[in-house]
Structure 1
Amino acid sequence: MFRAIADGFGYLFRLLGDLGGWILDGIWMLFKPLFDLIGAIFYFLYMLGVVLVKILEVVLNVGKLLVGVLTGLFKTVVGLSYTGTPAALPGSYNSALSKIMPFVNSLQLDKVAYLLIFGIWLTAGFMAVKIIGAMRGGGGDD
């Protein structure tokens, strides 16, 4: 008799457990789209933050590059002044340079040399920007 009562309660609790599982599965299926939507919203906000951080990094790096280019440009322009002092060369070259300088000064080739130096610097700057711009994700020429 106790066995029948125990079997009856076992059957009842199994039935209640199955019913509770069925109800929880139904609630889960009912709220799953809402949970997915909330997850998608948080993922979107996370990715938006990642994009904003990357944009900020790019802007700061471009700013650093621009400051470097402008600093180099101003240093080059300031360095274009002629002081009239001879170049500091080894002794064996000084005698040849002292003979050439009057000829160079009379033809004003020193100003052409300064312009060529400026052109070389400007070309090197553009090439550096081109090389940096060709890098995709920090990789090489893949």
Structure 2
Amino acid sequence: MFRAIADGFNYLFGMLADFFWKLMNGLLWLLQPIFDLIALIFSFIVWIGVIIVKIVLLVFAIGKLLVGLIAGLFSTILGFGYSGSTTNLPGSYMEVYSHIRPYLSMLQLDKIAYLIQFGIWFFTAWAALRLIGGMRGGAGSE
């Protein structure tokens, strides 16, 4: 007798569980488009944020490049002054440099090296400014 009561409750709870799962699957089927729309909206917001962060990082990288070029240009210009101090090189190179230095100053090649260094910085800065100035919202130059 207890076996029949237990089987009856087992059958009843099995029917209730089956009804509950069918009800949940039906609700999921009805609400799936709404869930998809919410997921799409959040995904769109995330990708807009990623794009904004990438653009900000690009602008900062371009700014860092310009600041580096301008700082290098000014350090080159400030390097034109002769301070009279000797060059600090590693020991193996210092001996060779000390033998060559009088000839370099006699031929004034050190001043030519400063002029070439200034020219390199000047043309690099000019080319970078020209490239950055040519950027018009992604539409190439005409």
> What is the TM-score with the length of structure 2 in the denominator?
0.58
Choose 1 or 2 for highest CA Rg.
1
Q: Does 1:15 align with 2:15?
A: yes
1:90 aligns with 2:107: no
When structure 1 is superposed on structure 2, of 31-40 and 45-54 the one drifting more is 45-54
Matches within 5 A, 1:124-139: none
Q: Where in structure 2 are there 5+ consecutive unaligned residues?
A: 87-96, 129-142
Corresponding position of 1:25: 25
Amino acid at match of 2:72: G
Q: Which residue of 1 aligns with 2:117?
A: 117
- How far did residue 5 of structure 1 move? 5.0
Q: Give the direction of change, closer, same or farther, for the CA distance of 1:72–1:21 in structure 2 (3 Å limit).
A: same
CA distance, structure 2, for counterparts of residue 24 and residue 96 of structure 1: 89
The residue number in structure 2 matching 1:44 is 44
Q: Which residue of 1 aligns with 2:56?
A: 56
1:11: how far off? 3.1
Instruction: Give how far 1:17 is off.
Output: 2.2
How far residue 38 of structure 1 moved from its aligned partner, in angstroms, is: 0.8
Aligned residues: 117
Report how far residue 66 of structure 1 moved.
0.6
Which whole-Å deviations, capped at 9, do the CAs of 1:22-46 have from their partners, x for residues lacking one? Answer: 1111001111111111112112212
Q: Corresponding residue for 2:133? A: none
Q: In the superposition, relative to structure 1, how do residues 3 and 53 fare at CA in structure 2: closer, same or farther (>3 Å)?
A: same
Task: Give the SS at the match of 2:14.
Answer: helix
Structure 1 Cα separation of the partners of residues 17 and 98 of structure 2: 98
Could you tell me the TM-score, scaled by structure 1's length? 0.58
Offset of 1:80 from its aligned partner? 4.2
- Residues 43 and 93 (structure 1 numbering): CA distance in 2 closer, same or farther, change over 3 Å? closer
Change (3 A) 1:115 1:22: same
Backbone CA RMSD of aligned residues: 3.8
Counting aligned pairs with the same residue, the percent is: 42
Residue aligning to 2:68: 68
Q: Which residue does the alignment assign to 2:91?
A: none
Higher relative contact order (CA 8 A, sep 6+): 2
Residues 107-140 of structure 1 deviation map (CA, whole Å, 9 limit, x = unaligned): xxx6x76543322334566899xxxxxxxxxxxx
- Unmatched segments (≥5 aa) in structure 1: 105-109, 129-142
